[in-house]
Chains A and B, each alone.
Chain A
Amino acid sequence: MMHRKKKEKAIESTLLMVSGVTVVALFLLCFFLFREGYLLFGDYSIISFLTETSWYPSSSPAKFGLLPLLTGSLIVTAGAIVLSVPLGLASAIYISELADPKIAQLIKPFVEILAGIPSVVYGFFGLIVVVPLLQDLLDLPTGQTALAGSIMLGMMALPTIISVSEDAINSVPTALKEGSLALGSTKWQTIYRVVLPAALSGISAAVMLGIGRAIGETMTVMMVTGNTAIIPGIPEGLFDPVRTMTATIALEMGEVPQGSEHFHALFAVGAVLFLITFMINLIADSVKKKYRLQEGV
Chain B
Amino acid sequence: MSKKSISYIITLLLVTSLALFGAGCVGNDDSEAEMQSIMIKGSDTVLPLAQAEAEVYMMEYPDTSISIIGGGSGVGIAALIDGEIDIAMTSREMKGSEIENAQANGIDPVEQTIAWDGISVVVNPENPVSDLTFEQIKAIYVGDVSNWNEVGGEDREIVVLSRDSSSGTYEYFKEEVMEGNEYRADALINPSTGAIIQTVSQNKNAIGYVGVAYLDGTTKALAVDNGSGAEEPTSENILAGTYPLARPLYFYTNGEPTGLALEFIEFLSSETGEETVFEVGYFPA
Which of A's residues lie within 8 Å of B, judged by CB?
A: 25-26, 29-30, 32-33, 36, 54, 56-59, 127-128, 131-132, 135, 141-144, 160, 163-164, 209, 212-213, 216, 218, 222-223, 226-230, 240-241, 243, 246, 249-258, 267, 270, 273-274, 277-278, 281, 284-285, 288
Contacts and interface: CB of A to CB of B under 8 A. Distances in A.
Contacts of A32: 19, 22
A216 B14 contact: yes
B52 interface: no
Interface residues of B, number: 47
Contacts of B6: 160
A273 B17 CA distance: 14
Interface stretch (B29-37, B164-172, B228-236, B275-283): B164-172
B3 A227 contact: no
Given A216-B14, A218-B14, A228-B189, A142 B182 contact: no
A227 B188 contact: yes
B4 A227 contact: no
Interface string B12-33: 1011101101100000000000
A284 B22 CA distance: 31
A130 B146 CA distance: 25
Contacts of A216: 10-11, 14
A243 B16 contact: no
Given A56-B182, A213-B10, A252-B165, 4 more contacts: A58-B165, A141-B156, A209-B7, A255-B72
B206 interface: yes
B199 interface: yes
B250 to A, nearest CB: 15
A274 B3 contact: no
A144 B7 contact: no
Interface string B185-200: 1111111000100110
A227 B205 contact: no
Nearest to B198: A127
The CB with the most chain A CB atoms within 10 A, among B10, B165, B187, is that of B165
Contacts of B8: 281
B180 to A, nearest CB: 9
Contacts of A128: 198
Contacts, number: 141
A248 B77 CA distance: 22
Contacts of B164: 227, 251-252, 254
B149 interface: no
A164 B5 CA distance: 13
B150 to A, nearest CB: 15
13 contacts: A135-B203, A209-B7, A213-B7, A213-B10, A226-B189, A228-B186, A228-B187, A240-B186, A243-B189, A255-B72, A257-B78, A278-B11, A284-B4
A135 B74 CA distance: 36
A253 B195 contact: no
A141 B157 contact: yes
Interface of B: 3-4, 6-8, 10-12, 14-16, 18-19, 21-22, 71-75, 78, 97-98, 156-157, 159, 164-168, 171, 182, 185-191, 195, 198-199, 202-203, 205-206
A273 B14 contact: yes
Contact of B195 (A127, A164, A257): A127
Contacts of A29: 12, 15-16, 18-19
B178 to A, nearest CB: 11
A212 B7 contact: yes
A209 B3 contact: yes
A270 B15 contact: yes
Contacts of B19: 29, 32-33
B98 A257 contact: yes
B72 A144 contact: no
A149 B72 CA distance: 26
Contacts of B4: 209, 281, 284-285, 288
Given A228-B186, A284-B4, A257 B97 contact: yes
A213 B13 CA distance: 12
B42 to A, nearest CB: 10
A222 B11 CA distance: 18
Contacts of A56: 182
Nearest to B15: A29
Most buried by B among A132, A212, A230, A240: A212
A273 B13 CA distance: 13
Contact of A255 (B10, B166, B187): B166
